[in-house]
Structure 1
């Protein structure tokens, strides 16, 4: 039976670790169990390293105290977003079906809470899958906030407040990024993509700031579910950085779906009124909505 390959230590392959290395609790300690952290931990363990990983307790909405094994993509990114995208597509398909002979009632009901419940069940399942992948790879899992204490020491603050320090030969910081908010008056009235994936109520009128992937997708999701949607962005066309002809087609299709576009504009202020959230643009436009989404990119999160 072949022996497991050893982790590269100081650029040298093979051989047992020296006495100095044996004094460490772990060869590698990974802070953050998203896609990058999980992959690094599993691969390193497969090469014979003694690996630990820490992550905040699971919650669909990230915060200073919540996270979850699987990270942004699995818990509050690509996976749940695609579930909502698929759900939003059926409205148009029901309308098309009538033209192909399908007899459908005039009133087709949509249950937002059921979709959100099933979405959450799926990411809970995937969170469990990622835990099993790490455990089966021999990785030690810690739940809590990880902090770098020194070049070879990590502190884990558990949910109950208990602190424990571990020594490690190597530390990998894989804490990813978080959705950012725009620094304007009333910013606390807006939500980010995290909250957008877990809203208690389906938006009736949404204003989306931004025109990247997230902005365009959520505008399309909510419009597909029957909401009024206004898309506000600084450039003349959505999806900055893509081919201009394609961007023009996307803009035309968004308008064709009934999404109101506001190119060359920015949101200047948000305020709460009896009618809803009052949105003021830098061109003096006023829009009143029940939901405002900041889809203005993400920033790196460090420990």
Structure 2
């Protein structure tokens, strides 16, 4: 018998480590011609492809599919789909069952899925199609999934649109107060990208532990016992300008408050810039959704922030 996983490339050893006899597919020597043909097609395809086979939809996939499932590999190989994709099963199972019931192929574009690929729920988007695979008798024996991840494109377009709206609102702002009034409603209208948004204006005083010297770079990340704090340098005003109404500080008409620690509660609209959240190693973002959300502070006045990743359900 020809080695059915000879074309698996870097997955060849992973295939051989799976005890297929304990799965619903049975030992490789017992695999049907339909499964072997579908597997051969999958392994010789450069696009991300996976098969759902057997009564519990066991996963069999190619090299290109591995980056899409992250840390689920290699345990996902030879495992039931409902176990591998437990967090999104309620969404994809009806589509898969529709195909297996003979109701035709499915097609979705930029479908939002909250996937656990690296130990936390991550906002992801995919364009994919489920299609039936038939055996020699014409019966549906499994399904094939040809997919493409579109997370980067969807998030990029959404955040560019946000920056466009922000630019429009700031175009006619004449002072710091107007910039705050115009910017904050726009930034707060995008909770998927900016779960918490405020802008901090520093007091005009000698730098302290609470307000260090102005940043010499765009972003500085500090690790505390409670969280990670991102200080983001924004442009558009200097430290000597009056504070906007509602803030405690020089020019506000109220006594200046003593310096406060980073995680203290500041009067709005002088609170945090953003709540960071970790999304993936390949795209550094900020962490949010913790019991004590991290807050980013800045040593300048106004401007835009780097987009944190979305709230994950």
Pairwise TM-score range, normalised by the shorter structure: under 0.3
**TM-score (norm. length: structure 2):** 0.26
**TM-score (norm. length: structure 1):** 0.26
Which structure carries more strand by proportion? 1
Bigger-Rg structure (1/2): 2
Q: Whose RCO is larger (CA < 8 A, sep 6+)? A: 1
